[in-house]
Amino acid sequence: MKFIQRQVIAASLWLPFALGAIRTDLQRRNVEVAEIDKNAHIDHENQEIVFKEGADFEDVFRCTRTSGKRLTFTVDNTVAACCHPGQRLLGTLDTAFDCCAPGHTLTGTDRNGYRCCPLGQSYDGLRCSGVCKNGRVMVDGQCVCPVGTTLTADGSCKALAGCDSGITTGSCYLFKMENGHTFGFDSGQTYYSAADHSNQHRVGKFKLCKNERCTPGSSVDPNDAIRIRDIQGTITQSSETQGNRWLNKASDGNHVGRTARYEDAGLFTITKWSCGKYCLGGFENGVTYACPSETPSITFTSDRQACTPVEIVEVPCDVHSVENNCMWEKTPGTCGPGTGGSCHCPKGWGLGRHEYLAVQ
């Protein structure tokens, strides 16, 4: 058996089996613990751990008899500590170990440290406090909804009415840039730019994703880190062979291109501007034009506030889906219940998610 350690202190040289060590990282260790060698024998009845050291000697490990504590083990019996009766030994080699009372669990972080807290609470470096759920945050000891959201009947937080971004994960969009052209992939140059559709430039059809699966239906808000997936192929390659590529994180004047690896995708943000416009920025860095060109590309820049104005147009992800009939205007230019559309509605009608609705 050996003590979990950072500094090793050799015991008496005349007892070769009694080599021991004391871990000195008190802040994270919380209690002294010992890792149990696979050849050791655990004597639960006598509260001892016995292990062989050579042919004639054995060593015994037990809690100090006057401490009132008992040998207590992790659930897999690989680590032991001296805990008060009724306590459990919780923790891992990568975090910390502590003796926790019933109804408590070991919680915390490497930064804040680890302590036993009541179930449902977390250690913040100073005290145990409640863990907020459903998007709520802790403010002055209370779980509240973030600014710009409100509490719903089911206990979750929802964006205030009229404050929705209008774009969601999993839907498909075109980006129309300031020069009036759509943003797409240039097969000849292997990067994205705003140019006319041609035999070298295929318009991008972009999905905005908060995870690699691109789980649909989540509102994309200005403080969300998103990765952008282009489901289109290239001019010379089909969507089946060259589609579903991520916009990469090219920076400092290098033009943003494509990557098949989720880990190499750029972290973007989108914030809503007036008149139906948006601005495409970066979560950790800003986004700007790569160079003064008639068909500009974009690049990440160190100015985190930099963003590039775009008009975002929702389009079908699958052009062959019959559900597309229900997304847009049934009669172009008309407005009414269930007709949908993209034009301005007359007085008395309002624009919904995909349709014009009578104003209540």
303 and 182 both lie in a single domain? yes
315 and 208 both lie in a single domain? yes
255 and 187 both lie in a single domain? yes
Task: Mention every residue, 6+ apart, whose C-beta is less than 8 A from residue 195.
Answer: 181, 184, 186, 201, 295
Q: Locate 124 and state its tokens.
A: 């913040």
Residue 77 — pLDDT band, cuts 50, 70, 90? Answer: confident
> Which 8-state DSSP code applies to residue 333?
T
Find the angle CA(262)-CA(272)-CA(304) to the nearest 5 degrees. Answer: 60
214 and 311 both lie in a single domain? yes
Q: How buried is 328 (Cβ within 10 angstroms: 0-12 exposed, 13-18 middle, 19+ buried)?
A: middle
204 and 344 both lie in a single domain? no
Residue 302: give its domain's CATH number.
Answer: 2.80.10.50
75 and 120 both lie in a single domain? yes
84 and 183 both lie in a single domain? no
Identity of the residue numbered 205: K
Query: What is the domain extent for residue 65?
Result: 2-129
Q: Locate 97 and state its tokens.
A: 């170990």
Domain total for the chain? 4
Rounded Cα–Cα distance for residues 77 and 315 (Å): 58
Nearest to 137 by CA among 223, 55, 202, 57: 223
Residue 230 — pLDDT band, cuts 50, 70, 90? Answer: very high
Nearest to 190 by CA among 255, 253, 251: 255
End-of-domain residue from the set 109, 143, 163: 163
pLDDT higher than 90, residue 309: yes
Tell me how long the chain is.
360
pLDDT higher than 70, residue 284: yes
320 neighbors 278 (Cβ within 8 angstroms)? no
244 and 307 both lie in a single domain? yes
Rounded Cα–Cα distance for residues 136 and 146 (Å): 6
What's the whole-number mean pLDDT along residues 274-282?
88
Q: Where are the alpha helices (DSSP H) in the chain?
A: 26-29, 239-242
What tens digit of pLDDT does each residue of 182-201 get?
Answer: 999 987 788 899 988 887 88
196 and 285 both lie in a single domain? yes
239 and 258 both lie in a single domain? yes
The mean of the pLDDT values for the chain is: 78
190 and 157 both lie in a single domain? no
Look at the alpha carbons of 345, 347, 352, 357 in this order and tell me if their dihedral is positive or negative. Answer: negative
Residue 338: phi and psi, rounded to 5, are: 80, 5
What's the whole-number mean pLDDT along residues 295-319?
93
What tens digit of pLDDT does each residue of 29-54 get?
Answer: 688 888 877 777 888 888 888 877 76
| pLDDT value for 140 | 57
Place of tokens 């639960």: 44
Q: Locate 159 and state its tokens.
A: 């964006």
β-pairing, 149-151 with 142-144?
unpaired
61 and 8 both lie in a single domain? yes
Residue 336: phi and psi, rounded to 5, are: 165, 175
